[in-house]
Chains A and B, each alone.
Chain A
Amino acid sequence: MEYFLNQLVNGLSQGAIYALMAIGYSVIVGVVGMVTFTYGEIMMIGAFGAYYVFQFVGVNLPLALLAAFASSFVLGIIVYKLCYERFFNAPRHISLLCTIGFSMLIKNLVQIVFGPEAKPVLNIIDNRTFSIPLGGAVSIDLKLLQIVIMALVVVLAVTLTLFFNRTKSGVALRAVSQNKEAAYLMGINVKRTAMLGNCIGCGFGGIAGILLAIYYYTISTTTWGGFSMKAFSASVLGGLVDLRMSALGGLFIGIIENLGITISSATFRDMFAFGFLILMLVIRPQGFASKKGSRV
């Protein structure tokens, strides 16, 4: 039982990061109107932005999170200008192919500029573990790192929800996400708003990137494609554009993966994650979302 609960905590921690990744991804899909294949590299750039804050400023987590957000936000502008804005009236696959090409370009550029070797991200959060008794001889081990990451993800998700519901820009973003033509007719600058939404989604991806690096104590230049697929899967589970449901999708994928490892081997991690995704889509094609096309 204790073993099972500890694996559940591992799954929740990983799922929390997946949830943040999925939130950013869903914002992008919602406002741009199509999936992206550069999301892994966007997370990587955010992670590197924060990494260099740790290198040059020291362990300053708020500043690092800001740097991660800012660097991915800026990359989001470039992605938007190169891959989306120029092809608004072109067939949709042009933009998709452009994001694939841009993803390869960024990945190889980063290897050339920052080097191919993995970078250590150590001692950002104290290595403390709390043993929480649950009655009898059962207790669960909760790391401070896991607590901080889960708390940060919750705070960021609530902040984004408030932004969408309580600010003029947020409402404009929701309008663009729901119906671009109607938003345009209501006087919203659709292109600028879509770019802002894309950049905010990228910024959240950047923060997810540095949280992944802190959680795994390292930044690699090669593992981000897999995370991008997880973000996409979580977003699909949540109906692609529903932020809360995408976050739930991320949490589910994290938990399913870790519980899958509990009963079999880590080799089958992706089999559990994507098997669950396929099963879910067969039973409920709209994912966790209440209806197909539900928007932020």
Chain B
Amino acid sequence: MKKLFTLLLALVLVLSLFALPASAQSKGVIKLGGLAPLTGNYAEYGKGFQIGWQMALDEINAAGGANGYLLEIDVKDSQGDTVVSSTMATAFAEDEEIMAILGDFTSGACKANASIVDRYGVVQLSPTASAPDYASMSPFCFSIMGRQDGEAPYLATYVLKKYLGVTKVAVIRVDSDWGLSCFENFKVQADIEGLEVTEEKYKSDETDFSSIITKAKLSDPEVLVVMDQGAAVSAIFNAADSAGWDIKHVALGPGTSEQVVSQLMTPDNIIVTSPFFFDPQNAELTKWKEEFAGKAGFDPTVHPACAYDTMYLIKTAIENIGDGEITRDAIRAALQDVEMVGITGRIKFEPSGDIQRDYMICGVENGEWKVLEGFDYVNQ
């Protein structure tokens, strides 16, 4: 009787192992650090990062984790400030349980953290840093946004010269390292294309653009180009509209942002470059977009979609390590060789640690984004 009881108990224990949820069967937990501007001027993007990461993480863990490991992320608020971001990055780097850092949002913050992640030997995978010199600062620096030396020249050649056929351009840009990088890369190509360019710049916390618009009008340009992200883009175009300035609006930076459209007085007048588009015909993307909007309370831009993809990149890298030990260096080495199709498209890192993206021209019709010219426009 005692033997039978022992046998039954053993059987129950074995069966219960199979009945346990995925989390209890995992090999362990891999902790990640997340850097995002949850407050400050870029808070909407930071919140997007947080939700994008969490959506991917929930899916990965529900499906059994990455190679049997559950993922966990500790998101810290970098406030869009390079000093705060570096402090947070150092804290993550010194925590030996953190296997990789995702973020930050701005190229400036990522560049400030480059020497830290290099010294501690931990990956910093940014969804959005686009400065051409960021990823090459350390073998541990990665980004999937694409680089400004790809997008800004595309704007000059394919949007302004080929699509709009203009020769005189007024550029209003944010006075940050990102804005400078955009403008410098744009200007080189604009000179090649024979475009006449004037430049006005403003601080990142600027709110009043009426005097900048009055100044930009002086050169009598055919198109107004804004290089920035977020609320400033719509604020500048609205200031132009309110000054009675009838001019085509072009933006480099916001992508196909629903928020920008919702804040514009004349949304149908805007054209942007974008490496990504939420195609309403694509059921999978539409479902993702709706799920994100349900959680965030606002529609996504390309930025949270990139954040979502970075979590899957880490998962794929861990899977590619296979039976090897999961270390910071192993993740770096595996990440360098990852090839994946995410929701923002195909991702394969260059030796420098960033990726080359193709761009399309998008515009707004009746308040809805649409693709004006697709990826193949460069070949036409």
Residues of A participating in the B interface, judged by any CB pair closer than 8 Å: 3, 6-7, 10-11, 13-14, 107-108, 111, 115-118, 120, 122-123, 127, 129, 141, 143, 145, 212, 215-218, 220-223, 226, 257-258, 261-262, 265-267, 269-270
CB atoms of A118 and B210 under 8 A apart: no
Say whether B218 faces chain A, with CB atoms less than 8 Å apart. Answer: yes
CB atoms of A13 and B210 under 8 A apart: yes
With an 8 Å Cβ cutoff, the count of chain B residues facing the other chain is: 41
Q: How many Å lie between the Cα of A116 and that of B38 in the bound state?
A: 8
Residues of B participating in the A interface, judged by any CB pair closer than 8 Å: 38-41, 43-44, 46-47, 175, 200-203, 205-212, 214-215, 218, 230-231, 234-235, 238-239, 241-244, 259, 262-265, 297-298
Collect the chain B residues with CB atoms within 8 Å of residue A143's CB.
242-244
Q: Across the two chains, which residue of chain A brings its CB closest to B259?
A: A117
Q: How many Å lie between the Cα of A107 and that of B43 in the bound state?
A: 12
Q: Give B219 Cβ to nearest chain A Cβ, in Å.
A: 11
Collect the chain A residues with CB atoms within 8 Å of residue B206's CB.
266, 269
Q: Give B34 Cβ to nearest chain A Cβ, in Å.
A: 16
CB atoms of B208 and A14 under 8 A apart: yes
Pick from A3, A141, A217, A222: contact of B41, CB below 8 A: A222
CB atoms of A120 and B203 under 8 A apart: no
User: Chain A interface mostly helix, strand, loop or mixed?
Assistant: helix
**A-B residue pairs, 9 tightest by C-beta:** A116-B43, A118-B231, A120-B263, A129-B244, A117-B44, A266-B202, A217-B238, A261-B211, A258-B211
Q: Which of the listed residues B39, B211, B214, B231 has the most CB atoms from chain A within 10 Å of its own CB?
A: B211
Q: Give B94 Cβ to nearest chain A Cβ, in Å.
A: 27
A118 touching B263 in the complex, CB below 8 Å, given contacts A127-B241, A216-B208? yes
Collect the chain B residues with CB atoms within 8 Å of residue A270's CB.
203
CB atoms of A141 and B262 under 8 A apart: no
CB atoms of B211 and A7 under 8 A apart: yes
A265 touching B201 in the complex, CB below 8 Å, given contacts A7-B211, A118-B263? yes
Q: How many Å lie between the Cα of A226 and that of B239 in the bound state?
A: 20
Q: Give B51 Cβ to nearest chain A Cβ, in Å.
A: 12
Q: Give A124 Cβ to nearest chain B Cβ, in Å.
A: 11
Collect the chain A residues with CB atoms within 8 Å of residue B231's CB.
117-118, 218, 220
Q: Give B180 Cβ to nearest chain A Cβ, in Å.
A: 11
Q: How many Å lie between the Cα of A130 and that of B24 in the bound state?
A: 71
CB atoms of B207 and A220 under 8 A apart: yes
Q: What would 6 more interface pairs be, CB under 8 Å, given A216-B209, A267-B202?
A: A127-B242, A217-B242, A261-B212, A261-B215, A266-B201, A266-B209
CB atoms of B214 and A3 under 8 A apart: yes
Q: Across the two chains, which residue of chain B brings its CB closest to A123?
A: B265
Q: How many Å lie between the Cα of A127 and that of B239 in the bound state?
A: 10
Q: Across the two chains, which residue of chain B brings its CB closest to A258?
A: B211
CB atoms of B207 and A223 under 8 A apart: yes
Q: Across the two chains, which residue of chain B brings its CB closest to A224?
A: B207
Pick from B203, B207, B208, B211: contact of A262, CB below 8 A: B211
CB atoms of A117 and B298 under 8 A apart: yes
CB atoms of A223 and B205 under 8 A apart: yes
Q: How many Å lie between the Cα of A217 and that of B209 in the bound state?
A: 11
CB atoms of B263 and A217 under 8 A apart: yes
Collect the chain B residues with CB atoms within 8 Å of residue A108's CB.
39
Collect the chain A residues with CB atoms within 8 Å of residue B244's CB.
127, 129, 141, 143
Collect the chain B residues with CB atoms within 8 Å of residue A221's CB.
43
Pick from B175, B209, B241: contact of A267, CB below 8 A: B175
Q: How many Å lie between the Cα of A127 and that of B297 in the bound state?
A: 30
A218 touching B200 in the complex, CB below 8 Å, given contacts A127-B242, A262-B215, A266-B212? no
CB atoms of B39 and A111 under 8 A apart: yes
CB atoms of A266 and B43 under 8 A apart: no
CB atoms of A127 and B298 under 8 A apart: no
Q: Give B300 Cβ to nearest chain A Cβ, in Å.
A: 12
